[in-house]
Structure 1
Amino acid sequence: MTHPGKLVTITADITIAGGGLAGVCAAIAAARQGRTVSLIQNRPVLGGNSSSEIRVWTRGSTGGGNLFSEEMGILGELKLANQYKNPEGNPILWDEILLDAVYQEHAISLFLNTLVVDVAHQDGHIQSLTALEINSERRFQFRSPVYVDATGDGFIAASAGLSYVIGKECNGTYGEEHAPEQFDPTTQGCTILMTFIKRDRPVAFVPPSYAYPIEYIEKLLNNGGRMVSEKSNGCDFWWVEFGGQKDTINEIASITLELKRLTLGIYNYIKNSSKFDADTLELNWTGSLPGKRESRRFVTEYVLTETDILQNRTFNDVAFHGGWYLDFHPSEGIYSKADFCTQIPVDLYGIPLRCLFSSQRDNLLVCGRILGASHAAFASTRIMDTCALSGQAAGTAASVLVSDQLKTPDLLDKSVYARIQALLVEGDMLLPGYHQETISENIHVEASSVIDGLPGKECGALSCHRDCFLAIPTELAAVSSLFLDAKQEALLQVSYRYAALPSRNSKQGEWFHGMLELKQGRTSVDLARFSRKEDAYLLLVLHASHGVSIPLVNKDLVGVLCGLRDSATYHHPLLSIRSFVSYGPENLINGHSRPYNRAHIWLSGKEEQPTIRLNLEKSRSITAISLFFDCGLSEEMVSSRVADVDPHHNIQLRSGVSPNLVRDFDVYVRIGDEDVLVRRIRDNYQRHVMVRFECCDTASLLIRFLRTHGSEHTGVYAIRIH
């Protein structure tokens, strides 16, 4: 016999409230560190705004124009699994990718449709959470030493008395250029999306009575870029925004109704205004939940500011990165006459661990869009990829607190946050400004080959009718020349700058300027003249000049890109390279697992089965190796999409697995005079691969790479021995 309302106590090392991308990544991160986790989600699916209930695609640093900066870590695993299993970007299958990932972690207990309704706390310490399972009569009390608030609205942290802000701080608070002169209580609004499909027959639409009429909708459109067509679909409607002038928490019901009136009114306008070719268009989905952009932001140990981002400030306790635009939306949303958004490009930047906790609460961390950031900084950090990274950082930090029986103020201790940083780097996180140590053990690396020629063949050209860029590590630029074609003699104005990772469109940093003299026909430009700085990326901007173009090749050289500064479509320039030594096997043990100041990758020559041998100074017990492969870190991997993408998104969608990824390889260990096979890996689609095997005492390992997903060259950033 069941007992209605019976309270069931659930204990775990860590309780995480919120099953969006931040909460999912936090839970997986903590579970992988051996902690038991209760993951509570108030919806039937995981993913938050990216779920099939809301269908906002995931974007981040690469979408903001930062090259080689695609977010990896646990989020990267999820995105790569999605590319392999769901190449069409079906949002329903994205739900299942997330659910499968959580279920694979047996230390996670998942509670879907479970709403936290009460927080018991005393003297800055959370004692328990009480929650209701919405589709049953069960009640739970969750108890843990540490809690993580990933709820989006910050219900746990607010209930526990942690200070928060709703609205825009005045410019006197943090000295921010883009903050208002006086405090403004308004926020960014919410959006309900919809998707259409073309049928082979006419489809009628009779709008519900609550939908706004055509005349009403017509007055709202064509203001600030708010335009529609029969080709509009999915995230094209992100600007149907409302609620920024209301309480996006307590007035969400009325905000939802207004958004339903607007979205169905817009669809009715497209279908029935006779202005579009929409007779066969059918509405096949519209959301019932708004995608919420902003509500509370918490006052954490450190509050990230716009100045931190624009000055690219470094933090000793950096825990994850951002790189999306400072992306401001008018609080009036669709009712504003202003542009639907203002996007200010920024460089890749680091975010400190201190933005995820306050020492006033001894067992609570926050992550996702509620992390400690000013409203101006939040305009960038709110993007979902960045929120997911914050989740991995929070989950990792929570695991260390539990394992060492620490409190959140202990996260200020360098020895504690340094341990967390080491775990994050091991988990494939990029920490800008963090100085990674090279492998301390004496390892000699032998490669069967190293790339010795520019991949691909010449195939067309990129016209410099608008500003173009070349991104190349300075160590490679020092031994390279760029070819330029000119229809007549020309003086080409150039600008250039240096950064750890380049942004194609940011104006930050120190810039240098010069001129190139081009003869008619083809000119070889020696890039050594721009390589004055060691260990940095060179971003060379070729200013618009009609009749000038960059010859292209049809294959990529990892770590080098060119393109138009205002476009996310990238190309591979024709170069003359005098030495490929920077692609040697020593990169595998230099402590880096992705481009940062350098390409940091070993590229094989054109051979069928290239090999890497790792020779240790002395024999030791080995149980695993981890490998970090190339997966195209300048190509965006979004969670969901429609077939046609409006150009204003400025996104180059990839379909399927990157051809550069290693697909099949074998691992051998040296036993006596023989290389003994210990693992075969087949049909790999991940960038970060942990290969485990029975413990072996050996001083030598061999990895034989059998096949990529299409590339002629095998690319590996790092190999680590465990």
Structure 2
Amino acid sequence: MLKSDATGKRTLKTIRYEADLIVVGGGLSGTCCAITAARAGIRVALVQDRPVLGGNSSSEVRLWVLGATSHMGNNNRWAREGGVIDEILVENWYRNPEGNPLLFDTILLEKVVSEPNITLLLNTAVYDVEKSNADTISSLKAFCSQNSTAYELTAPLFCDASGDGVVGFQAGAAFRMGAESQEEFGEKFAPSAEYGELLGHSLYFYTKDTGRPVRFVPPSYALDDITTIPRYRRFNAQEYGCQLWWIEYGGRLDTVHDTETIKWELWKVVYGVWNHIKNSGQFPEAETMTLEWVGTIPGKRESRRFEGDYMLRQQDIVEQRIHQDAVAFGGWSIDLHPADGVFSEKPGCNQWHGKGLYQIPYRCLYSRNISNLFLAGRIISATHVAFGSARVMGTSAHVGQAVGMAAALCTRENTLPRRLSEPQKIGLLQQELLKTGQHIPGLRLHDERDLIQQATLTASSEFVLTELPGDGPLISLAQSAAQMLPLPTGPVPRLTAWATADQDTTLTVELRRSTKADNHTPDVTLQTLTIPLRKGKHEVDLDFSVRIDEPCYVFVMFMKNEHVKLQYSNLRVTGVLSVFNKINAAVSNYGKQEPTEDIGVDTFEFWCPERRPKGQNVALKCSGGIGLFGAENIRNGIQRPTSQPNAYVAELTDPNPTLTASWPTKQRISRVELFFDTDYDHPLESVIMIHPETASPFCVREYILCNDRQKRIYHETNNHQSRNIIRFAEPIETSSLTIHLKETNGGAPASLMEVRCYAD
């Protein structure tokens, strides 16, 4: 029994935590930041004001995770974000291909609680900031209503990943809210006052078919006249969840302090919409459906944006400007929404894509006037227009990882965030990020401690692309199709395709490439062939008199002709892909991007892959073959296809694909890191979308490591992840390391993106 006498005042139980880094905000950005920092060896406190992690991706909001891949609806090939966010999405793919948001919660929680360097505080809201001087935060005060406990959180470094910038705001960090004028940064896409300066919030709902009639009596606050929503005719009984992202409101209000008001308006809309679907008589298919779930907190898009030493802007995205301090990348469209949201007469969004990935500089990731404050997520230093692209969760998570590693380096070197932006220090941050799988466009890993760099590499076989056999379907050229092929500098090899015509016709075949070698927008036509076809099946010889002046992908493009069917191949190979000039309205892709006025974006065509199980390669023969899949690729410092495949691939007929690294003397190996192909072109949306597989068909499922006596030192039988880290209890002394690639998760030939070995 606990008994206390009456008293004038009591204080709450208070717990004090000290850490190297305090991360406020447990969305994907804060979560990936905390995990990255903890794995780099520093103590982290992760403070989340909700009961689960994930923010807008959690079961409380249920928005799918997307970034530069953009539903495979743009020209950013192999563009899924790497590092921790890739690990999370690949794990979700393996465990949760049906897209259950509750299971995604468990994966995020498991990743965090598995890290001994992280102290996780859920249901804990930061409400006050203490400062030791004008530009330095010393501690935070937070409160958990579930255990009635106050927390004092002290650290030399802080990361605000809270979405609204609760730490930065109270600390006095410079910030902006609303849109910049066209004149301030020269951004031609800056919105008008009529369009509005802020994106609103959204609430989603899920439905369920019960198999028997279900009635619905709306609550009194439900919107009773759905026709006040200009797009009300778009509502139907099939769409649910974040497919209804355009149920948006609040852009004319204060998206921080008016959030509860915005939520109530969205509740009115959601229940009014469901009443319309159930009771208007226009949707008989909804008779047996019930409303299974409605969000209780809105998914936020925009509020405060904080100022760093640089502000990302429209030109960085469209022109793909190079930054010496690049630490992450983006690739989602510049995606702005009318401030009036669902009540606007305008389209729900206004998306304009770039031709490829763009760099995000480190200078955008810390406050310009609070010396020990990092910024992560949607509050990074960006204009309103650039924010329209950088705000999405895949990009935010990638940025969070960069902050986590930066915090670890600051701790290690006892320095502050701005110092890492100096030319002599930024390279270290970039290299440490690349080691974890963080892709940074234009950069390669150069790791002097990696023993593989000094090894002699041999392989049992190396794939040469001489043929994509015609064992797949015949598919009509109802839409233009292209085969992407990696080529070295030199003449384009002679190619042969197979086509069947249902009448005499003419087939047009174009050879294109991208202006920039690392892009995959085919905006440069190298040659056009016009080939007469008689009715029937034909071998089509493609003899291009073109020389390639730098390694890049070319596009062999078979232009639309409804009288022709093209032969496809069932063979899938790492770094080889077919694309199509098709429409994906979900990301404002209508085959070609054509701005109707000068808004500072480019005109170009979209050539995008089909999702598996579709998306077979075009059947082709290649005279002389394309030999770009050799063992040397595993140490070239790039872990995904870019302008080249950057992968070792074994021959199809190799019964035991084997890669061996040898040294003239014995080495002491404590750790081996392997990077496999988990198909960075697949966006891996976390919810709603159902994925046909649970692992990449290119990814090696089973492999064996052997020493110089061919003794087995490690055996993995169920791999599905990109990055595998093998740590030996005792160092292995050997003059060679042999990797046997036994089985993949699909029918593709075995491949390996990177191998690294370390003595420590």
Look up the match of 1:662: 700
Secondary structure at the residue paired with 2:363?
Answer: helix
Determine the C-alpha separation between the residues in 2 that align with 1:184 and 1:407: 40
RMSD over aligned Cα, in angstroms? 2.3
Q: Is the 8 A contact 1:170 1:182 kept in 2?
A: no
Q: Is the 8 A contact 2:68 2:81 kept in 1?
A: yes
Look up the match of 2:736: 700
Look up the match of 1:115: 125
Look up the match of 1:517: 530
* Higher alpha-carbon deviation: 320-329 or 487-496: 487-496
Task: Identify the match of residue 376 of structure 1 among 385, 409, 415.
Answer: 385
Determine the C-alpha separation between the residues in 2 that align with 1:157 and 1:500: 40
In the TM superposition, residue 539 of structure 1 has moved relative to its aligned partner by: 4.1
Secondary structure at the residue paired with 2:749?
Answer: coil
Look up the match of 2:682: 635
Determine the C-alpha separation between the residues in 1 that align with 2:297 and 2:177: 21
**CA pair 60-590 structure 1, distance change in 2 beyond 3 A:** same
Task: Identify the match of residue 360 of structure 1 among 366, 369, 384.
Answer: 369
CA deviation profile, 1:429-462 (whole Å, cap 9, x unmatched): 1101224448783221111122355466432244
CA deviation profile, 1:241-290 (whole Å, cap 9, x unmatched): 10011111000001000000001111111111111121011111110110
TM-score normalised by length of structure 1: 0.93
Q: Does 1:687 pair with 2:722?
A: yes
Q: Is the 8 A contact 1:19 1:39 kept in 2?
A: yes
Determine the C-alpha separation between the residues in 1 that align with 2:543 and 2:243: 41
Q: Does 1:447 pair with 2:459?
A: yes
* Higher alpha-carbon deviation: 96-105 or 534-543: 534-543
Q: Is the 8 A contact 1:438 1:589 kept in 2?
A: no
In the TM superposition, residue 467 of structure 1 has moved relative to its aligned partner by: 3.9
Q: Does 1:328 pair with 2:339?
A: no
Q: Is the 8 A contact 2:48 2:122 kept in 1?
A: yes
CA deviation profile, 1:161-195 (whole Å, cap 9, x unmatched): 11111111111011112013679873011100001
CA deviation profile, 1:62-88 (whole Å, cap 9, x unmatched): 125211111121001001111111121
Q: Does 1:676 pair with 2:717?
A: no
TM-score normalised by length of structure 2: 0.88
Q: Does 1:496 pair with 2:512?
A: yes
Determine the C-alpha separation between the residues in 2 that align with 1:158 and 1:555: 54
Secondary structure at the residue paired with 2:681?
Answer: coil
Q: Does 1:561 pair with 2:577?
A: yes
Q: Is the 8 A contact 2:472 2:616 kept in 1?
A: no
Secondary structure at the residue paired with 2:488?
Answer: helix
Look up the match of 1:714: 750
Determine the C-alpha separation between the residues in 2 that align with 1:212 and 1:181: 29
**CA pair 187-484 structure 1, distance change in 2 beyond 3 A:** farther
* Higher alpha-carbon deviation: 515-524 or 148-157: 515-524
AA partner of residue 531 (structure 2): L
In the TM superposition, residue 551 of structure 1 has moved relative to its aligned partner by: 2.3
Q: Is the 8 A contact 1:474 1:533 kept in 2?
A: no
Q: Does 1:210 pair with 2:221?
A: yes
Look up the match of 2:247: 240
Look up the match of 2:593: none
Determine the C-alpha separation between the residues in 1 that align with 2:687 and 2:45: 27
* Higher alpha-carbon deviation: 432-441 or 130-139: 432-441
**CA pair 319-275 structure 1, distance change in 2 beyond 3 A:** same
In the TM superposition, residue 711 of structure 1 has moved relative to its aligned partner by: 2.4
Q: Is the 8 A contact 2:444 2:636 kept in 1?
A: no
In the TM superposition, residue 594 of structure 1 has moved relative to its aligned partner by: 1.0
In the TM superposition, residue 124 of structure 1 has moved relative to its aligned partner by: 0.8
Q: Is the 8 A contact 1:663 1:709 kept in 2?
A: yes
Task: Identify the match of residue 478 of structure 1 among 477, 480, 492.
Answer: 492
Secondary structure at the residue paired with 2:625?
Answer: coil
Determine the C-alpha separation between the residues in 1 that align with 2:499 and 2:243: 37
Q: Is the 8 A contact 1:482 1:573 kept in 2?
A: no
Q: Is the 8 A contact 2:473 2:567 kept in 1?
A: yes
Q: Is the 8 A contact 2:572 2:747 kept in 1?
A: no
Q: Is the 8 A contact 1:168 1:183 kept in 2?
A: no
Q: Is the 8 A contact 1:88 1:655 kept in 2?
A: no
In the TM superposition, residue 375 of structure 1 has moved relative to its aligned partner by: 1.0
Q: Is the 8 A contact 1:609 1:707 kept in 2?
A: no
In the TM superposition, residue 678 of structure 1 has moved relative to its aligned partner by: 1.8
AA partner of residue 741 (structure 2): F
Task: Identify the match of residue 481 of structure 2 among 468, 474, 487.
Answer: 468
Q: Is the 8 A contact 2:230 2:343 kept in 1?
A: no
**CA pair 119-527 structure 1, distance change in 2 beyond 3 A:** farther
Determine the C-alpha separation between the residues in 1 that align with 2:171 and 2:148: 26
User: How do residues 539-550 of structure 1 correspond to structure 2 at under 5 angstroms?
Assistant: 539=555, 541-550=557-566
User: How do residues 433-444 of structure 1 correspond to structure 2 at under 5 angstroms?
Assistant: 433-437=442-446, 441-444=453-456
Determine the C-alpha separation between the residues in 1 that align with 2:221 and 2:681: 44
In the TM superposition, residue 395 of structure 1 has moved relative to its aligned partner by: 0.4
Look up the match of 1:650: none
Look up the match of 1:28: 35
In the TM superposition, residue 364 of structure 1 has moved relative to its aligned partner by: 1.0
In the TM superposition, residue 710 of structure 1 has moved relative to its aligned partner by: 2.3
Determine the C-alpha separation between the residues in 2 that align with 1:715 and 1:557: 9
Structure 2: gaps (5+ residues): 5-9, 584-608
Determine the C-alpha separation between the residues in 1 that align with 2:432 and 2:357: 21
Determine the C-alpha separation between the residues in 2 that align with 1:218 and 1:182: 25
Secondary structure at the residue paired with 1:618?
Answer: strand
Determine the C-alpha separation between the residues in 1 that align with 2:558 and 2:290: 45
Secondary structure at the residue paired with 2:219?
Answer: coil
